[in-house]
Each structure stands twice: as structure tokens, then as C-alpha cells.
A = this chain, B = another copy of it.
Amino acid sequence: MFEAAELGRKISREEFDALAPSLRTELLDLQQQLREADFPVVVLFAGVDGAGKNETVNLINEWMDPRWIVTRAYHKPSDEEKERPEYWRYWRDLPPKGKVGLFLSSWYHHPLVDRVTGETTQAELDEQLERIVHFEKTLADEGALILKFWMHLSEKAQRKRLRALEKDPFTAWQVSDQDWEHWKMYDKFVSVAERLIMHTSKGHAPWQIVEGADARYRSAVVLQTIKDAINKHLSNREAVKKVNAEIKGKAAKAKKGGGPAALASQPSILSSLDMSQTIEGAEYNQALQEQRARLAHLYRVAKDKGVSTALVFEGWDAAGKGGTIRRLTNALNARDYQVIPIAAPTEEERAQHYLWRFWRHIARAGRVTVFDRSWYGRVLVERVEGFCTDEAWRRAYNEIVDFEEQLTRHGIVVCKFWLHITSEEQLARFTSRGEIEYKKWKLTDEDWRNREKWDVYEQAVNDMVERTSTRNAPWTLIEANSKNFARVKVMRTVADALEAALGKAAKRKKGDG
């Protein structure tokens, strides 16, 4: 795979000087165009030590306007990073739309090094690479331009390069013992790298192998590639926008003609619920107290063990999310939980991948985070109201499953609730809200508008549950015509989930000892 990058390709100073001024101007100009664009550029550098990763990143910062570039390099995770899923630190560093992010020692670093040093098996490596593919695809699907450069040197060239660096007192500091360690494992390193590149070179995030021996050659290749890719992506995105606008236009026409209403006649997963269930009086009070005590105990154990909990609440307007959340959080100490109300994204959130604003709320170890509405907005309101493209909400199911899997793999307990009420019950609640003074603010015109689309929403809920209810992050449908019943069922479900998770954690510990 690397033969073509060991040919000793170089370009002369004259050639380079002839090329440089216009390339530089074009890059600066592209950065200006990019600032108005609706996508970020993610450029990633990996490869053989001494092949010019750092130098190239420095050069890009020198030639381009560093104000619209973020450069990120990763070392050992900080304790705040360790307490979150592995990719949290990459998510929080992603460049917003219009900026270029340069990544060194990125998400490829550990999979590569751990395999070379034998800390992981081939199968584990493959699994890690699979995750990387998912991650990059998730970004690319929302429009990100992803470029990956593998800077290569032959074994001989690497030794020569490291020695040269060591000789020069100005550059000697760049060579660490680790570099020589790595050099001794060159063959192993290159064979793992081959596998890594093969598994993760995709159309939406291709690897480009660059011969790194000659500084001018590698600089020219990288910068040209970046320039061409940004250029191409800018025009692609324009084309995509046009097509989407056309599709939207057609869809709007089709809707006028009747359209999706036909679907509503299908029985949905919600129609199978027994909505008459209720629990009253003393029985309710006792059940509530019981679950409250269980929760109060279990979440403290979870806290001590560093097990976090993420709770997702979705449901019809007026289904009682707020009240249910309050009953639940009453069992917890206020210093250990946060309720995150999800409304329209802020400006900074809009400039990022739609999952970014949820990643930023992933709490440190041992905390409870309650999402009042959530990332499911994409496949509910955004789908129904046409706030995103068809393609976007359709692929969101997988993105969400993948996201939640990252949470559960990290040991976070994830419970998701759909609070269901019947259409008649909703009408009754809307009416009574309008009548009680201090509840009036809760009822908006939008609520009435949403109500008109009940059938379409029901279809969306059905699809959502079908496609995103997984063993580790299951949906629980809550029969919420009776608020009491809903509250007790939610609390019991959370307590059960915690109990199961803590049991597992305890077993795992026992197994260790």
C-alpha cells in the first residue's frame, strides 16, 4: 500500500516557489467563501513520526488565516474526559460551520498504537475502526468535509529523518524516546496502518497517503488536496441545496393533494396500549413513596460507583412530562441532577452537527441528566414539520442508535419514555389549561397546530420506537391518561434499570476478584 509513497518524490525550490503564491491566495480566498458555507472542514493528520505532520499543520496555519482554523491535538484524556464516553472530547472540539479544524493524534491514535504494542487484538482494533467509520459518516452526512492525510516515510527514511532532527540543536527536542521505540516497531506499525487505512478509507472520508520525505513535495500535495477538496465541496453543497429545495417543493405540492394521511389508518404501536390503567388514593401514595425510596437509594449507590443516568422524556403536548419529571427528581438530591429543557437550538448549536448540542450536556460520572425533549426531535417535530430533509431524518435513526450505544458502552444508564395520552384526554387538558390562570402560559397556538397533525405524529412515534428501541436503551411507553399511573411507572422503570445496571456492575466486580 505504501510503495508509491517511498519513491523519493520531491519538487525543487523553483517549482515550489512558482506554485506557492497563487496556491496561498486561493486558500485564503476559499477560507472567505467557507465562512459563509454551511459545513465545517475536518482535516486529520496521522502517519509515521518524522514524516511532517506537525510541520504541515504549522504551514497551514502560516499560509491560511489562523482565525478561522482550530488546531487540536490529544494527549492522555483529562479526568473530565475520562468520565465521559470516548468520543466526547472530539465532539466538543469539532469546528463549527465555516471553520477548518486540524486534528493531530486524533481518534486514530489509540487504536493504532494499542494494536502495535499488542494491547488490543485484531478484533478489537476492527471494532474500534468500525466506530470511527460511524463517527466520520455521522459528520459527513450532515455536510462536513473530511480529509485524512497519512504522512508516510520508509523505515530507512524515518531513521535518517530522526537522526537529522536530533543532530540539529534547534530541532533535537522534537525527537523523543517514544519516537525511537516506534521506529523499532516499524514493520508492525506499517502493517497495522495498512489495515487501518483499508478499513476507514471511505468515499465521505478518504485517506490520502503522502510521501513525507521531502518537505516541499508533501506541503504541495497536502495544500493542493485541501484546496481542491474545499472547492469541490463548495459546489457540491450548492447542488445539494438546489436538489433539496426542489424535493421540498414537490413534497409541499403532494401534501396539498392529500399525501401522508393515508398512513394514519395503519394501527400504530400506541394503539395497543391499555389506556384505562390508573392508580388512585392510598394505593398511589404508597406506590409513589415506595419507588421514591428505591430511587433515592439506588441513585446514591450509582453515584458512589460513578454510574451516570440519562433519562429522555418525549410525549404529546400536555401529557404531563413536567410533572412526571418533578416527581422523579424529588427523589434525588438537587446537586446530583440537571434537567435540560430542549427547545430550538442556539446559534452556536445551529453551527454544529445536530447531535453536538446533546453531547455537550453529557454529565460527569455519577450524575443524573434528565432531557425534557431530546435528540428525538429530529425524527419527530423536524420530520413532521419538514425542518430537515427526508434523507436527514431517515438516517437519524441509525445515528441516534449509535449515539446511545456510545453512552451505554461507557456504562451510562439510558431510559427513554414516551408519555402517551389519547387525543380526547389532550383536548380536555388543553381546555382546562385555558381556564386556570397560572397555567395559561403553558398553552400556545403551536399546541393547537400540533394537535391537528396528530396522525402524522403518531406515525412518526411508531417509526421512532420501532427503530430506536434497543436492548441497552429501550423505549418505555407510558400510559399517561392517568397522571398517577404515569408517574409511578416512570419511577419504577428508572429504578429497575438502575438496579439491573448496578447488579451487573457488582457482578463484574465480583468476577474480577
Contacts and interface: CB of A to CB of B under 8 A. Distances in A.
A305 interface: no
Contacts of A326: 62, 66
A333 B58 contact: yes
Interface in A56-88: 57-58, 60-62, 65-73, 78-80
Contacts of A346: 346-348
Nearest to A297: B170
A508 interface: no
Given A67-B339, A170-B293, A346-B346, A334 B61 contact: yes
Nearest to A304: B173
A341 interface: yes
Nearest to A332: B58
A58 B334 contact: yes
Q: How many copies does the complex hold?
A: 2
Interface in A88-124: 102, 104
Interface in A280-299: 293, 296
Interface size band for A:
35 or more
A102 B335 CA distance: 9
Interface stretch (A25-33, A258-266, A449-457): A25-33
Contacts of A58: 330, 333-334
A338 interface: yes
Contacts of A348: 346-348
Interface of A: 25, 28-29, 32, 54, 57-58, 60-62, 65-73, 78-80, 102, 104, 170, 173, 293, 296, 300, 322, 325-326, 329-330, 333-335, 337-341, 346-348, 364, 372, 438, 441
Enumerate the 4 nearest inter-chain pairs by beta-carbon distance, A residue then B residue, closest first. Answer: A73-B335, A67-B341, A347-B347, A66-B339
Given A58-B333, A78-B78, A346-B346, 17 more contacts: A54-B335, A58-B330, A61-B334, A62-B326, A66-B326, A67-B339, A69-B339, A71-B334, A71-B335, A72-B335, A73-B335, A78-B364, A79-B80, A102-B334, A104-B335, A170-B293, A173-B300
